Structure 1
């Protein structure tokens, strides 16, 4: 019911995730990212707490992705029901798929990225995502979305996809990008891509507005002067 890709941009150090699901509002439960620390997807039978717990382990203990994942899942009673992927701030990767993961499931690590999914049309869906990410150009969001489109082209989930999310951390403590399609009857990934295209030209302006309101551009909406 879910497939995702977590990744790091080698040039900017940005960390991000793109994810989709047959369930409603996947962006509310599964993607977790922290600037300068790491990015986590916690999916399958989702336990949202795993995301911040792994990020806390990465940040507090200053350990790598594999150690943070092992430390967090090691004491977890229901780990065999979870599917989790991690990329840390240095681009090191880790992933886990429990034996109780749903349907056809798979995970693959690439260069500073991990793709994973369950209830898939086939394992080739996930294998298509890594080269799509690695060979794409542009902003990290473009590369993450390229992987998602590749997954859909390869067959996607065994059933229909209804929600999608894109979340990226840059230099600030808040997300640089946090876009969601919580429910769509068809093509939520396409709708998410359209949201990104609309948001990208304004993305940096919102950072400027936060850091220096006197330099904030106006978009001509009421009260925005």
Structure 2
């Protein structure tokens, strides 16, 4: 009824889950992740206890493979209908598909990832997700890699019953909002005719509002650019002799405070200001 990917970033700093399904609010049931520990996806007659249990096992230092085996061994429910994917802070991911899962059902795993799905259009869903994941190794943002893999699965037919919801959860130590959280991305599309497409749109917005700017792209807030920025801020009612303070005043209203750097301006913030 669901297809998902659990993955770890190439540098090992981030861990996450992306999932889509013909199921209302799949993000409330399938994904779980803990910074520097691992990520879990539980689906197909999902046993939600797998989430805290899996993360607890990973935090004790055991492998993803051992974690999956322990979860299945300790489950007194319909194990034949279960499906789970796990990735830890290091090593290979692991996946399990019960013999009684609705076809097509299966999964694959490798270094830093596990992909699984049930009631799918066919084996190509998982295969294409793996191809997309492996082909995006140069992309530093784990969220983008996970969603790209999810998109590949969706285009291969995804859940054979149709589309309804999707979700994305990514964690990284201290990289959440304001540096006070480990939740880097937590987006859910609970009921939508094109949930993966909507998830992609939300991730684009999230990138603008919550990611820190790339230092190499910053523009000095001086000279002609400084004059332009000051003029535009004044026209919008944000006036201060200190240009950084005027920019911060406007950026706070626009929810762009994560992209502020004293003495400079992020090109994305500048583009947003020019549109305003």
Q: TM-score range by the shorter chain?
A: 0.7 to 0.9
- Residue of structure 1 equivalent to 2:252: 219
Candidates 155, 158, 175, aligned match of 2:157: 155
Report the alpha carbon displacement of residue 153 of structure 1 after superposing the two structures with TM: 1.6
- Residue of structure 2 equivalent to 1:191: 198
TM-superposition CA deviations, 1:122-168 (whole Å, max 9, x none): 01110110110111224111111111111122111211110000000
Q: Is the 8 A contact 2:12 2:89 kept in 1?
A: no
TM-superposition CA deviations, 1:188-210 (whole Å, max 9, x none): 000000000001122246xxxxx
Report the alpha carbon displacement of residue 113 of structure 1 after superposing the two structures with TM: 1.0
Report matched runs for 1:1-225 at 5 Å.
Answer: 1-59=1-59, 61-78=60-77, 79-136=79-136, 137-172=139-174, 174-184=182-192, 186-204=193-211, 218-220=251-253
TM-superposition CA deviations, 1:87-128 (whole Å, max 9, x none): 000142111111121221010113311111000000111011
Which of the two has higher C-alpha Rg?
2
TM normalised by structure 1 equals: 0.88
Where does the alignment leave 5 or more consecutive residues of structure 2 unmatched? 175-180, 213-247, 258-276
**Hey, what's the Cα distance between the residues in 2 that align with 1:158 and 1:113?**
23
Q: Is the 8 A contact 1:69 1:94 kept in 2?
A: yes
Q: Is the 8 A contact 1:30 1:41 kept in 2?
A: yes
Q: Is the 8 A contact 2:92 2:110 kept in 1?
A: no
Q: Is the 8 A contact 1:110 1:130 kept in 2?
A: no
Report the alpha carbon displacement of residue 72 of structure 1 after superposing the two structures with TM: 2.1
**Hey, what's the Cα distance between the residues in 1 that align with 2:204 and 2:25?**
20
**Hey, what's the Cα distance between the residues in 2 that align with 1:25 and 1:91?**
30
TM normalised by structure 2 equals: 0.72
Report the alpha carbon displacement of residue 24 of structure 1 after superposing the two structures with TM: 0.2
Structure that is richer in strand per residue: 1
Q: Which has the higher contact order (CA 8 A, sep 6+)?
A: 1
How many residues in Structure 1 have an aligned counterpart in Structure 2? 210
